[in-house]
């Protein structure tokens, strides 16, 4: 039986893309290669069927096939979280039950757009726990830029108190550094359990968020090894080097974080790196223009140069 997700989860849980062939079928060979790539980069876990994994574009059968393939490839080496957010509880229950039976460590649930009150949000996650089963650990995905739902720190604290199976907050508010501080203060004051907090938003503020008390990052980026190195270096106490490493990649992180076009950028670079065979996306999708590609190529070249300048500094650090 797979080890279940807990409040102690930390490190890099990379949001996996879903590779497609040029004819828009799931590319299982690329899925295998991508899984191996993420593991070779040293990630601490994988998250499947996230927003950047094009989950809404997959059928239920396809979603399950992707999860089963990755779980088989991972073979228990790292925990796997699966996004099961759905407008209705029936579909959520069905997918969550299937992936947990297959060996997932936990599931992730974002709030539906209709929630507008604190009581409504807290009540929703109490219902989620009942629907999933109180023994199924879940991640509360706080992504107001996408969901339109604002979850204030006191509401997060309330959910954690009322719902023991909520073991992680995926923090994607923006600006959100103050929210991280507030949630951590609530646990330090005994107002709530200390749960795992992993940040998102493409890692755009990763070292700042680590300084505020997050346990790691749950997001994608076309160079996941950067996120691994930053988290480990920061954890080792070499904060300045962690910021230096992050800064070397920051222009590309920022470019990839553009709304709508970001997934196309990520898939383009992952194709260029040989991780997946095609950058194809299912519609609705944004395609890169020749000018976009020129931008990315320039950023990659400049990133390589900055990393070469860091080599004498980073050579002393085992994580780089």
The rounded distance, in Å, linking the Cα atoms of 118 and 157 is 11
pLDDT tens digits in sequence order for the chain, 320 residues long: 679 999 999 999 999 999 999 999 999 999 999 999 999 999 999 999 988 899 999 999 999 999 999 999 999 999 999 999 999 999 999 999 999 999 999 999 999 999 999 999 999 999 999 999 999 999 999 999 999 999 999 999 999 999 999 999 999 999 999 999 999 999 999 999 999 999 999 999 999 999 999 999 999 999 999 999 999 999 999 999 999 999 999 999 999 999 889 999 999 999 999 999 999 999 999 999 999 999 999 999 999 999 988 865 444 444 44
Q: Where are the domains of the chain?
A: 11-236
Q: What is the pLDDT of residue 51?
A: 83
pTM for the model: 0.95
- Spatial distance between the Cα atoms of 99 and 82, rounded to a whole number of angstroms: 7
Which CATH superfamily includes the segment(s) 11-236? Aldolase class I (3.20.20.70)
CA distance 129 to 166: 8
Q: How many angstroms separate the CA atoms of 65 and 36, rounded?
A: 17
Degrees to nearest 5, angle at CA 113 with 112 and 116: 105
């Amino acid at each position: 039986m797979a080890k279940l997700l807990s409040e102690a989860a930390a490190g890099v849980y990379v949001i996996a893309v879903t590779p497609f062939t040029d004819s828009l079928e799931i590319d299982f060979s690329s899925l295998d290669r991508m899984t191996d790539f993420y593991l070779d980069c040293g990630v601490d876990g994988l998250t499947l069927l996230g927003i950047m994994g094009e989950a809404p574009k997959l059928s239920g059968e396809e979603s399950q096939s992707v999860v089963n393939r990755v779980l088989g490839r991972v073979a228990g080496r790292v925990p796997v979280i699966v996004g099961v957010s759905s407008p209705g509880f029936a579909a959520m229950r069905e997918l969550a039950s299937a992936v947990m039976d297959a060996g997932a460590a936990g599931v992730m649930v974002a709030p539906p757009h209709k929630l507008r009150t604190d009581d409504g949000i807290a009540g929703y996650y109490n219902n989620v726990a009942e629907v999933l089963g109180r023994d199924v650990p879940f991640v509360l995905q706080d992504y107001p830029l996408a969901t339109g739902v604002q979850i204030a720190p006191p509401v997060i604290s309330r959910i954690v108190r009322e719902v023991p199976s909520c073991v992680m907050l995926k923090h994607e508010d923006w600006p959100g550094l103050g929210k991280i501080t507030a949630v951590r203060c609530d646990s330090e004051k005994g107002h709530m359990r200390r749960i795992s907090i992993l940040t998102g938003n493409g890692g755009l503020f990763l070292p700042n968020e680590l300084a505020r008390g997050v346990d790691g990052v749950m997001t994608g980026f076309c160079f996941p090894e950067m996120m691994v190195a930053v988290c480990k270096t920061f954890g080792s106490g070499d904060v300045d080097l962690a910021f230096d490493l992050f800064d070397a990649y920051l222009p590309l992180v920022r470019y990839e974080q553009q709304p709508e076009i970001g997934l196309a950028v990520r898939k383009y670079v992952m194709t260029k790196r040989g991780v997946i065979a095609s950058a194809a996306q299912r519609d609705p999708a944004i395609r890169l223009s020749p000018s976009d590609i020129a931008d990315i190529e320039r950023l990659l070249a400049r990133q390589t140069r900055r990393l070469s300048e860091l080599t004498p500094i980073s050579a002393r650090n085992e994580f780089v």
